[in-house]
Amino acid sequence: MRAGSLLVLALPVSLGQLFKSSRNVYELDAQRVEAEVAESRSPWVMMYYADWCPHCHHYAPIFERIAGQISPLHQGAVSFGAVNCPDFTAFCTKIQIQGYPTVRTYHFTGDVGASLAGKTPDRHIVHSEAQFTAWITRNAPVVESNASSEQTKVQEPSVSNSSQELRGQNTRGALKAKEAEELQKPWAHEVLPDAMAAMRLADAEVALLYSLRQGTFLKGSNGELKGDSLVELLRWLDYLARTFPGGRKQLRQLAEATHQAVSMSSAGNALSAEAFGKLLDNRGLDRIPAEAGHKPEAYWRKCRSYTCSLWTLFHVLSVSEAKSAAPETAGQDLLARMRGFVAFFFGCDYCRDHFLEAFDSCKLGRCKLSAEDVSGAALWIWQMHNDVTLRVAAENFRPIPTLWPPEEDCPECWDKKSPSGFNSAAVLAHLSAEYGSAEWHEDTPWLSGAWTAHGAVPLALVSALMLAFGAFKLMSRSSHEPAARGKDTKGS
């Protein structure tokens, strides 16, 4: 890795609740949905989202505007609410929220009785501001608006006069401000070449723990996983146990225990959310504790979001396969498991649909890859990551980002004579250096054994030591040259 690359080891930034400061949408928890929405006699429109979901951030201002038109300042006949599902995983699984954002209506014309799950309007209508506003107006029952009624009364969120904007609109600005503040700390960017791959692996482990906890039962029903989704989970766990370079012992144990839990179910073909949750309890990965499955932001080292760490997971897997004695179908297996994960266990509906469309249409030459071409699979994942980064930036009206790796980090990766603008061999070597290490393919993991027994050497301490070393190096040369700076835009 070149000395110009950034290694940002700053405090994590949590995006949190999208509607915490909204004037028109209540930010609710599971208990309040049960008590104040499902049992109400008045109509409600609820948005179930994940704070890490890019399209949820894109849709949140639209939902806010619709609420503002129908019930400005909560004064209309229809109430609007939102729930951040990662904070209430069991509840969202119970009411079968299978992707984000999901919009549901309660107590509209034609509804009979109180339903905790509500009804799901047509997705294309929901995502059109004009159409959904008109649909709500047409289908909402005629009720007398009474802000003091016990049936419609909901506690107002605490909002200061200086903070009335929708959280979803200003979150990115706050994130940029935080990053700008951290850029003033030169010690945060000192390059630690030997540590980069370890930081990437840590982020991949966090993504893995969080996805198993939050995404496994997205396609479940009545608290159980059956059929294709269960088959894919078992394949995914077996694949991870064989190929993922971190926490292999824990992953092997989890895969075996999950197979056993399925075989012990009443019909031998189902996995309950309760049983799988118990298997995940107190089960970390290598240097990352089980708590990362609930609070990932506390454990990211290079990334700042779940989507970034998930891409990191895929890159780590691709490099791991290339470095190991992989089977003849390794390239095909890697891409098949990646597709299966996105199809069944990734919650962002819009993101998932785009990826599956690209995958199934053989975009970027995927179908031309041979089954054993692990290097080709790794490059395809890299191309898709850059492609997604460009698409997300365009959808959110952001400037065109620098493609990864930036030229200052890997000048040999860029080739103006190539149709793609890149030198594939150099990119592959750069991926291998950033996301892999030969040490990972030994049977004992990095910092293993007595060093990590019972959490004796938590990753935070290792990071602190790395930072101290980096600071010492930086100060020792500060009189000769300024701190090097580079870019790392591969976090979309």
- Which pLDDT belongs to residue 377? 96
Would you tell me the crossing angle of helices 193-214 and 459-477 to the nearest 10 degrees? 150
- pLDDT digit string, tens, across residues 89-105: 999 999 999 999 999 99
DSSP assignment, residue 36? I
- Which pLDDT belongs to residue 312? 97
At residue 75, the 3 state secondary structure works out as coil
- Which pLDDT belongs to residue 327? 79
- Which pLDDT belongs to residue 142? 72
For residues 266 and 455, the model is more confident at: 266
Share of the chain above pLDDT 90, in %: 58
- pLDDT digit string, tens, across residues 206-237: 999 999 999 999 999 988 999 999 999 999 99
Q: Are 317 and 244 in contact (CB under 8 A)?
A: yes
For the ranges 217-226, 291-300, 457-466, the lowest mean pLDDT is seen at 457-466
Distance CA(472)–CA(481), nearest Å, equals: 14
Whether pLDDT at 328 is above 80:
yes
Task: Give the homologous superfamily in CATH for domain 26-140.
Answer: Glutaredoxin (3.40.30.10)
- Which pLDDT belongs to residue 173? 43
- Strand bridging mode 79-84 / 44-49: parallel
- pLDDT digit string, tens, across residues 52-84: 998 999 999 999 999 999 998 888 889 999 999
pLDDT tier at 386, thresholds 50, 70, 90: very high
- Which pLDDT belongs to residue 155? 45
Distance CA(235)–CA(225), nearest Å, equals: 14
For the chain, what's the residue count? Answer: 492
At residue 48, the 3 state secondary structure works out as strand
pLDDT tier at 449, thresholds 50, 70, 90: very low
Instruction: Read off the tokens for 305.
Output: 């979001």
119 has which bridge partners? 105
Whether pLDDT at 361 is above 60:
yes
Distance CA(242)–CA(251), nearest Å, equals: 9
Whether pLDDT at 255 is above 90:
yes
For the ranges 108-122, 145-159, 258-272, the lowest mean pLDDT is seen at 145-159
Distance CA(252)–CA(256), nearest Å, equals: 6
- pLDDT digit string, tens, across residues 275-293: 999 999 999 998 899 999 9
pTM of the model: 0.76
CATH topology of domain 193-453: Four Helix Bundle (Hemerythrin (Met), subunit A) (1.20.120)
Domain chopping of the chain, boundaries? 26-140, 193-453
pLDDT tier at 398, thresholds 50, 70, 90: confident
Rg (CA), the chain: 24
Mean pLDDT across the stretch 140-164?
45
Whether pLDDT at 178 is above 50:
no
